[in-house]
Amino acid sequence: MKKIVCYLLIAVMLLAGCGKKDLKAAEYVRADLELIFQGETQEAKEFLDASSSDLKKVYENGIQSFVENYLIIDTDEENEESGNVSVYSYYVEEIFRTMKYQVGEAVEKDKDTYEVTVTYQPADVFVQFAEKLQEESAKIRQKQEEGQYTGTEEEQKQAMMEEYVTASYELLGESYSQMQYKEAEEFTFTVTRSEKNQPQMSEDEINQFIVQILLLDKL
């Protein structure tokens, strides 16, 4: 399984860039998650000196990188250049927007450290998608063994790959429409005060939260 790329953590680093005297730990966590999953910039703007358009670009780059790291298989550049990546991006945006989580109140551990617990419901969309892709791969291999692909070895390989990619779009949409939420769980973020009196979070924590809410560790 590919790692979640750092782009999703750009929001974390940006939001640590312009703090206020009141740490506002819970608001900081909420703003970060809203930017990553919803593409919402209003709350994020309260924590940094950046325009809505700049923050929107962070969000869009995040979606693009998620697609490239989790959904684009090693075909060739034609897949990306054709604009078909936008199909994946559309579904990822929709999936991210439907994530269910609730940010709780900040609990002060000491004057420079707060804990913020987020209650969330994991979604099995990518677990379903992975299972459906395995089934599709088995079907394509069976067709190959039955001699249903013609032409040179390279032509057959290309035909199989194109069929697989086309099917993957449909299967992702199907997985999204059939997505199920699991029972609520909790994840606790630690927000600390930087030397410049700014809120900051561990990149590892936000990374792990994304893995858990999307069940990426089950792939």
**pLDDT value at 73 more than 70:** no
Q: Report pLDDT digits (tens) over 147-203.
A: 999 999 999 999 999 999 999 999 999 999 999 999 999 999 999 998 888 899 998
pLDDT at 70: 86
What is the mean predicted confidence (pLDDT) over 95-109? 97
Residue 207 lies in a domain: yes
Domains in the chain: how many in total?
1
Instruction: Judge contact between 164 and 137, C-beta under 8 A.
Output: yes
Residue 150 lies in a domain: no
pLDDT at 15: 60
Burial (0-12, 13-18, 19+ Cβ within 10 Å), 212: middle
Q: Report pLDDT digits (tens) over 48-63.
A: 778 999 999 999 999 9
What is the mean predicted confidence (pLDDT) over 105-117? 95
Q: Which residues, including other chains, have CB under 8 Å from residue 41's CB and lie 6 or more apart?
A: 35, 52, 55, 56, 59
Residue 194 lies in a domain: yes
pLDDT at 76: 46
Q: Report pLDDT digits (tens) over 134-146.
A: 999 999 999 999 9
Residue 171 lies in a domain: no
Instruction: Judge contact between 200 and 194, C-beta under 8 A.
Output: yes
- Can you read off the two tokens belonging to residue 177? 């429409």
Q: Which amino acid is at 18?
A: C
* Average per-residue pLDDT for the chain: 87
Residue 38 lies in a domain: yes
| pLDDT tier at 68, thresholds 50, 70, 90 | confident
Please state, for a pLDDT cut of 70, what percent of the chain lies above it: 84
What is the mean predicted confidence (pLDDT) over 32-41? 96
Instruction: Show the domain range for 17.
Output: 7-123+181-218
pTM of the predicted structure, to 2 decimals: 0.86
